[in-house]
Homo-oligomer: A and B are copies of this chain.
Amino acid sequence: LEAQDAEGLRALVGDLHESDFGDLLEILFQEERIALFVLYGPDLDFTALTEVDETIRLAILRELPTELVVEGMRELEIDDAVYILEDLEDEEKFEILQKLPAMERAALQRSLDLPEDAAGRRMQTQFIAVPPFWTVGQTIDFMRESQDLPDTFYEIYVVDPAVRLKGSVSLDKILRTQRPKRIAEIMNPAEHAILATDTQEEAARVFTRYNLVSAAVVDAAGRMVGVITVDDIVDVLEEEADADIKALGGVKADEELSDSVWYITRSRFTWLFVNLLTAILASLVIGFFADALEQMVALAVLMPIVASMGGNAGTQTMTVAVRALGTRQLGRANAMRIVRREMIVGLLNGVAFAVVMGIIAAIWFDLPTLGPVIGLALVITLVSAALGGIVIPLLLDRFGVDPAVSSGPFVTTVTDVVGFFAFLGIASLWFGI
**A interface residues (Cβ-Cβ under 8 A, vs B):** 17, 19, 27, 140, 143-144, 146, 149, 152-154, 170-172, 174-178, 207-213, 229-231, 233-235, 237-238, 241-242, 244-246, 248-251, 255, 257, 261-262, 264-265, 268-269, 271-273, 275-276, 278-280, 282-283, 286-287, 290, 293-294, 297, 300-305, 307-309, 312-313, 315-316, 318-320, 322-324, 327, 329-330, 333-334, 338, 341, 344-345, 348-349, 352-353, 356-357, 360, 412, 416, 420
* CB-based contact B330/A308 at 8 Å: no
Q: Which of B17, B248, B297 contacts A248 (CB 8 A)?
A: B248
CB-nearest residue of chain B to A280: B305
* CB-based contact A349/B297 at 8 Å: no
Known contacts A152-B170, A245-B323; is A316 also within 8 Å of B251 by CB?
yes
Q: How far is the CA of A170 from the CA of B249 in the complex (A)?
A: 42
Q: Which of B272, B290, B316 contacts A271 (CB 8 A)?
A: B316
With a cutoff of 8 Å between Cβ atoms, the chain B residues found around residue A174 in the complex are 175
With a cutoff of 8 Å between Cβ atoms, the chain B residues found around residue A302 in the complex are 283
Known contacts A213-B213, A290-B301, A300-B293; is A353 also within 8 Å of B230 by CB?
no
* CB-based contact A305/B318 at 8 Å: no
* CB-based contact A249/B320 at 8 Å: yes
* CB-based contact B312/A272 at 8 Å: yes
Q: Which of B210, B246, B286 contacts A300 (CB 8 A)?
A: B286
Name 30 A/B residue pairs within 8 A (Cβ), A-sorted: A143-B172, A144-B175, A144-B177, A152-B172, A154-B154, A230-B230, A230-B231, A230-B234, A238-B241, A241-B244, A241-B245, A246-B319, A255-B320, A265-B345, A265-B348, A265-B352, A268-B313, A268-B345, A268-B349, A269-B349, A269-B352, A275-B309, A276-B305, A276-B356, A283-B301, A283-B302, A293-B300, A293-B301, A294-B294, A304-B416
* CB-based contact B272/A309 at 8 Å: yes
Q: How far is the CA of A318 from the CA of B312 in the complex (A)?
A: 16
Q: Which of B175, B320, B333, B349 contacts A175 (CB 8 A)?
A: B175
* CB-based contact B144/A172 at 8 Å: no
* CB-based contact B268/A287 at 8 Å: no
- Tallying the copies of this chain within the complex gives 2
With a cutoff of 8 Å between Cβ atoms, the chain B residues found around residue A313 in the complex are 268, 272
Known contacts A237-B238, A309-B276, A313-B268; is A143 also within 8 Å of B301 by CB?
no
- How many whole Å from A50's CB to the nearest CB in chain B? 10
CB-nearest residue of chain B to A230: B230
- How many whole Å from A192's CB to the nearest CB in chain B? 9
Q: How far is the CA of A246 from the CA of B245 in the complex (A)?
A: 9
Q: Which of B235, B241, B352 contacts A241 (CB 8 A)?
A: B241
Q: How far is the CA of A307 from the CA of B279 in the complex (A)?
A: 9
Q: How far is the CA of A238 from the CA of B411 in the complex (A)?
A: 26
With a cutoff of 8 Å between Cβ atoms, the chain B residues found around residue A177 in the complex are 144
With a cutoff of 8 Å between Cβ atoms, the chain B residues found around residue A334 in the complex are 257
* CB-based contact A248/B319 at 8 Å: yes
- How many whole Å from A295's CB to the nearest CB in chain B? 9
With a cutoff of 8 Å between Cβ atoms, the chain B residues found around residue A235 in the complex are 208
Q: Which 3 A-B pairs have the closest CB atoms?
A: A249-B319, A241-B241, A211-B231
Q: Which of B249, B279, B294 contacts A297 (CB 8 A)?
A: B294
Known contacts A140-B175, A345-B261, A349-B268; is A19 also within 8 Å of B276 by CB?
no
